[in-house]
């Protein structure tokens, strides 16, 4: 890979990027604060989930491979390539409550990956906070289908470093190191299917599967070293989880009314 051509591409790309205005940063903080504020109120249901996100690692692999193979000051003169592949696996939790015919809730999750080449080590870490509105429909007594719409804020950090001290994750004393961080905001439409097993008259345990798609509202706002990758966390996601809750049907209400 020619250093000149890569830097021309990345320079043009970086010039196209503009940081989101202060209003955007305030909106992400509002999403996070809103999710946290729901925690003490979300006694209706809650649980844990694993999510697979099918993101495109193409440009991230391209940048890390360039760092490893380049014989310029922007590289370490190695020979290996990087091949991060999807899915990116998230681990998280959620909570929510019935408010009339809809559900209101929030969730949070983290993800991390690492990969090594002959001369370079790399790490990626991400976090996500979502606010969710859902409309459950229960065709049978202990199951529901629930279309949802979420507002999601994401954060991402990537780090590349030489391995003179061994393949140490987060080798911050390396002679060569590059780091990039970004935040983003997006909508996440989805649909969930859940089956529940009653534990008592007023509680249940459920297993759910949810498919959704993260749609970024803007380009990621990058900071850190120059020429960041053209990479975001958008794409199709598939989630499976366990949920604990009160009565599947809100007390005194009938699903048929909705």
Kindly give the confidence (pLDDT) of every residue in the chain, 258 residues in length, as a single tens digit, with 9 standing for 90 and above: 444 444 444 444 344 343 445 555 566 666 555 554 444 444 589 999 999 999 999 999 999 999 888 887 777 888 888 989 889 999 999 999 888 889 999 999 999 999 888 888 899 999 999 999 999 988 777 888 999 999 999 999 999 888 776 666 666 666 788 899 999 999 999 999 999 988 887 788 999 999 999 998 888 888 888 888 888 898 999 999 999 988 665 544 444 443
Residue 159 buriedness (CB in 10 A; 0-12 / 13-18 / 19+): buried
pLDDT value, residue 168:
63
Give the chain's domains with CATH numbers: 3-248 (2.40.160)
What is the pTM for the complete model shown?
A: 0.76
Q: Where are any strands of DSSP class E within the chain?
A: 45-53, 88-99, 102-116, 120-134, 137-140, 143-162, 177-200, 203-216, 221-224, 235-245
In the three-class reduction of DSSP (H, G, I as helix; E, B as strand; rest coil), residue 40 is classed as: helix
Residue 243 buriedness (CB in 10 A; 0-12 / 13-18 / 19+): buried
Cβ-Cβ contacts under 8 Å for 17 (sequence gap 6 or more): 219, 221, 222, 228
């Amino acid at each position: 890979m020619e250093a000149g051509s890569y830097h021309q591409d990345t320079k043009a790309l970086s010039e196209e990027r503009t940081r989101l205005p202060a209003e955007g940063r305030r909106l992400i903080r509002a999403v996070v604060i809103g999710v946290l504020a729901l925690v003490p109120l979300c006694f209706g249901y809650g649980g844990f989930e694993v999510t697979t996100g099918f993101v495109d690692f193409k440009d991230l692999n391209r940048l890390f491979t360039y760092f490893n193979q380049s014989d310029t000051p922007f590289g370490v003169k190695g020979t290996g390539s990087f091949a991060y592949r999807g899915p990116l696996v998230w681990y998280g939790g959620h909570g929510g409550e019935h408010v009339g015919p809809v559900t209101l809730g929030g969730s949070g999750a983290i993800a991390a990956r690492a990969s090594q080449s002959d001369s370079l080590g790399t790490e990626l870490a991400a976090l996500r906070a979502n606010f969710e509105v859902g409309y459950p429909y229960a065709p049978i007594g202990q199951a529901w289908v629930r279309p949802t719409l979420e507002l999601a804020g994401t954060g991402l950090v990537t780090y590349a470093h030489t391995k003179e001290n061994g393949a140490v994750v987060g080798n911050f004393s390396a002679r060569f190191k590059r780091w990039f961080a970004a935040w983003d905001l997006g909508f996440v439409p989805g649909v969930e299917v859940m089956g529940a097993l009653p534990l008592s008259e007023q509680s249940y345990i459920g297993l759910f599967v949810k498919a959704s798609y993260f749609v970024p509202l803007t380009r990621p706002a990058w900071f850190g070293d120059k020429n960041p990758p053209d990479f975001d966390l958008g794409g199709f996601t598939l989630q499976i989880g366990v949920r604990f809750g009160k009565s599947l049907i809100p007390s005194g209400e009938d699903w048929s009314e909705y």
